[in-house]
Amino acid sequence: MIQPVTSPQGRPLISAVTGTNGKTSVATATLQLMKLVGWRAAGYDSTGITDVDGVVHEAKTRRSADYLPDLIDSQARAGADAISLEAFVGILADGLFERVEVDTAVSTGLERDHIDVHGSVDAYWNAKLRLFEEYLRADGVAILATDSAQGDLVRAAVSRRGARLVTVGEGGEVRLVGAEEVDGGLRGRLIIGAASHLVALPTVHPIAVTNLMLAAAAVIGAGGDPAAVAEALSKVTPPPGRLQVIGERDGVTAIVDTAHNPGALRTALQSVRARTHGRLLLVFGAGGERDRGKRRDMGQIAQSLADLVVLTDDNPRREPPDRIRREVRAGAPDSIEIPLRKDAIRAALQMARPGDTVLVAGKGDEHYQLVGTRRLPHDDRDVIREAMSPVQRLD
């Protein structure tokens, strides 16, 4: 049994999630579970601010030191019992959590990203680790997947803080056993310490299953009833753009995902590969004015895990798009290069055969493309829907 934190006096319970990939998925699942077990809950993540009434507000991009405390205070006055926060690296690095006491903290793993901003991998990771070393209550609960990337760093940070650690996944205190695929999801038993609960999960992707269990552990660690949390898991819906199936036609499946760094791209490809009977076709690119060192790595991952790679533009911003593609292509010399993103998506769908899956990675639910100084309308999902029409929509 997970020993929950002692409920704080005079403020909502605070659950925060950080890491390189999967933060939004865990944060939004945590918020949903909080509501499903009967708490009045609010949330702040990359989808915006969700108030206690469920209304989503656009979050500010320029944030002062008062931003999070004011957000928490406003939701507390509105009657919030709990708040789920996505701990972005910029917020952690800038110390915006310094006046926030975190009750449960989740790590989704630390991989390479944002080196262009932080200067080095170590500086980026150290900014993330502040959640566990400084902002998590000393008697709080930290949650970590047993196979988490750089898990030892998180374990050491939690140990220095003196907080309790709950592990999720194979061999962990929270784990799924006896899972069987039923109607596009999984059914099995969720082990929580010495207890066991029947669960139905609305996904078959391993990374999505892990994210759900991390969220479940966060809510249980904050005092949620384990049986109620287990029952509520079947009702959780993923955020848009994360391994989102857009449609099927003639045996071809089209999926979008936000993967824009090596670790996320690898995970997305492996997850989709496990569900693909035919070939796996990938459409992707790399963002401009960002960490150039990851581009070749992404190309190598793409070429090694996809059967066919269509290299295109992502958000080139003010960087020459041909240079970005050239640096990605260094790792994927066999890729097909189609600069215009909508043309690349259409071409991949035309090349697909029955049983194939087309994964369009990098932008997920974004509805724009940053080219030069312009913000151009573009949504990968709309391009797919138009190209596959008439189509059986699954989203």
pLDDT tens by residue, 264-305: 999 999 999 999 999 999 999 999 998 899 999 999 999 999
- Reduced DSSP (H G I as helix, E B as strand, rest coil) percent helix, strand, coil of the chain, to 5: 35, 25, 40
Residues 113 and 133 in one domain: yes
Residues 224 and 280 in one domain: no
Phi, psi (degrees; rounded to nearest 5) at 143: -125, 135
pLDDT higher at 41 or 62: 41
pLDDT tens sequence across 111-121: 866 665 656 88
Q: Average model confidence (pLDDT) for the chain?
A: 93
pLDDT tens sequence across 48-89: 999 999 999 988 767 788 999 999 999 999 999 999 999 998
Q: Is the pLDDT of residue 217 over 70?
A: yes
**Taking CA 104 as the corner, what is the angle to CA 52 and CA 27, rounded to the nearest 5 degrees?**
50
Owning domain of residue 314: 244-393
Residues 76 and 192 in one domain: yes
| Full strand arrangement of the beta sheet holding 336-337 | 336-337, 308-311, 280-284, 357-361, 252-257, 244-249, 392-393
Contact residues for 25 (Cβ-Cβ < 8 A; gap 6+): 208, 211, 238, 239, 242
Mean local confidence (pLDDT), 259-268? 94
Residues 169 and 83 in one domain: yes
Query: Is residue 6 assigned to a domain?
Result: no
Query: Is residue 369 assigned to a domain?
Result: yes
Mean local confidence (pLDDT), 226-244? 95
Residues 42 and 110 in one domain: yes
Q: How confident is the model at residue 177 (pLDDT cuts 50, 70, 90)?
A: very high
Q: Is the pLDDT of residue 393 over 50?
A: no
The answer to whether the peptide bond before residue 377 is cis (omega within 30 degrees of 0) is no
- Total domains present in the chain: 2
Q: Is the pLDDT of residue 193 over 90?
A: no
Query: Is residue 249 assigned to a domain?
Result: yes
Query: Is residue 345 assigned to a domain?
Result: yes
Residues 302 and 186 in one domain: no
Half-sphere exposure of 153 (CA within 13 A, CB side): 20
Residues 336 and 194 in one domain: no
Residues 220 and 300 in one domain: no
Domain boundary among 235, 264, 279: 235
Residues 210 and 257 in one domain: no
Domain boundary among 235, 267, 290: 235
Residues 98 and 193 in one domain: yes
